[in-house]
Every structure is written in structure tokens, then in C-alpha cells.
Amino acid sequence: MLEEKVLISNRRNSYEETDFLDPFWQKMLISIANKYDGVSVSFFGAFNNAERCVGVIYNDYLPVPIEDEYMSVLAFDSKFDDVKHKDVLGKLMSMGIERETVGDIIFYKDACFFSVKKSVESFLLSQFQDIRRHSVSLYSVDGEGLKVVESEKTTEVIIAASLRADLLVAKIYNIKRNIATSMISKGLMKLDYRVFTRGDRQIELPALISLRGYGRVYVDEVVGRTGSDNLKVKLRREVYS
């Protein structure tokens, strides 16, 4: 699909946009585009260090695309303790919005911001009126003013016997090892955005680990060892609200 868009852009001298892509697919798109002379890709995600971005493919001699033409940032004031990242995403999905048309969802200074494809902006502005029984008023935000917005993360150090996947996941999420092993084998873990099913494999750092229902954690590095030769592992957890 991505290669087809690159081919169309190259043959028709046109701008071709993708859905929101995670960093893995962003790298894939760059790799594909680099195979063709004179083809460039711009990524738009609205927020500082945005994770999910829309890619726009175009020939070098064309003007650089403008972010506002391909995506919008919507927001609602949120001082509700029970509204989380998963609630916003769930609400959007329940409205028939496809995941690929939604970018990052960030809570920042008593408001929730999320990026979407331009094609669904009008529908959401008129139909997104409540969340978890709270009435909300959705509004559009100038994307340029959000470059300083970034998801919050807490930093901590955990003690782990090794970087073996099942052992590390059990420690990160404070669950029993047999539960971690079972969830990994069922495909409920992702490593750097890809499904990971080998609990006996060593994890190479840095890495982004997510476990369904438990959230995502950035595992940065081993910062030392304990007296009993266990590893001290530095990680960052995302704060969703």
C-alpha cells in the first residue's frame, strides 16, 4: 500500500497522503521513497515529538506540503478524573472513526487534544458531544500552538534478574511471571510497535513495550547492578491523564 502511494506520486507528480503511521511504518515509508530519485516525504503529527504521523509523499520540485491541509487538532476541556486515553479512543471508535485516521491523544493543562485526518474533522465537531456521561464541547485548535505539547512520562528504576522478555514484563507491570508468559504467547505484547510472542527472548534496549490492558513503557537502559548482580533498569511510563 505504501509503495503504491509512492509510485502514484512519482508517476503523476502529485501529493499522496497516508493514514497515521507509527514510527515503524514511517521508517518503512522513508525506505521505500528513498528508492526513487526526487521523491520526498513530510510527516505531520501536530505535537512535539508526535508518535503517530501522516506522511505526505511528493516530488522534490513541488512546494513543501502544509500540515493544516492534511490533519486537524481537536480538543475538549477535561477536568474529569475518570476520562483516560482509552476512553477517548474508545469513544472515537464507537462513532465509526477508524483508528488509522486518529493520531496522538494527549492530556495537557486540563484539556484533551487529539489529531485526526482532515476528512473527519467536520463530523467530529458536530457529533462528539459527550464522553463517559460527561457533556463536552469539541473545538478545533491551531496546530502550530501545540508544538510544545508532549505526553507526560514518569521515570523510575526497576530491579530485574535479566532482560528476558517474560521476566522483564512481569517486573514492569508487577504481574506474575506465568501471567506475563501467557499474555506474550497470546500476542498481547508489542515490542517497538510489532506483536512479540517470544517470552524467552532477550530484549534489546532501548525499547518500547506495551501490554494490552496495562499500558506502554519506554525501557531506556541498564543503569547498574545490585549487590546480588540483578539489573537496575531505567524506564519511563506514559501518563495518560
3-state secondary structure of 108: coil
Q: Say what the alpha-carbon torsion angle 55, 25, 14, 143 is, to the nearest 10 degrees.
A: 0
pLDDT tens digits along 74-93: 999 988 888 888 899 999 99
pLDDT value at position 215? 84
pLDDT at 145 over 60: no
Pair 29, 42: CB distance under 8 Å = no
Instruction: Work out the pLDDT band at 148, boundaries 50, 70, 90.
Output: low
What's the CA gap between 189 and 196, in Å, rounded? Answer: 6
198 or 144: which carries more pLDDT confidence?
A: 198
pLDDT beyond 70 at 3: yes
Q: Is-contact 231 220, C-beta < 8 A? A: no
For the chain, give the mean pLDDT: 91
Looking at CATH, the fold of the domain delimited by 153-238 is given as 3.10.290
CATH superfamily entry for domain 1-149: RRM (RNA recognition motif) domain (3.30.70.330)
The grid cell for 224 is: 547498574
- Rounded to an integer, the average pLDDT of 23-43 is 94
- Please give the average per-residue pLDDT across 190-212, as a whole number: 93
Give the domain ranges of the chain: 1-149, 153-238
Q: Name the grid cell of 44.
A: 505531520
Per-residue pLDDT at 241 exceeds 70: no
Q: What is the 3-state secondary structure (H, E, C) of 35-103?
A: CCCCEEEEEECCCCCCCCEEEEEEECCCCCCCHHHCEEEEEEECCCCCCCHHHHHHHHHHCCCCHHHEE
Q: What percent of the chain has pLDDT over 70?
A: 95
The string of pLDDT tens digits covering residues 149-197 is: 666 678 999 999 999 999 999 999 999 999 999 999 999 999 998 999 9
Quick one: pLDDT at residue 46?
A: 84
pLDDT the model gives residue 127 = 96
Cβ proximity of 15 and 31 under 8 Å: no
Q: Which of 193, 189, 140 is nearest to 167 (CA)?
A: 189
Specify the pLDDT at position 78: 84
Average pLDDT over residues 201-225: 93
Q: Is the pTM of this model over 0.85?
A: no
- pLDDT, residue 147, reads 58
- Whether 67 and 83 have beta carbons less than 8 Å apart is answered as no
What is the predicted pLDDT for the residue at 128?
Answer: 97
- The pLDDT of 8-13, averaged and rounded, is 93
Q: What is the layout of strands, in order, in the sheet containing 39-44?
A: 16-21, 53-59, 39-44
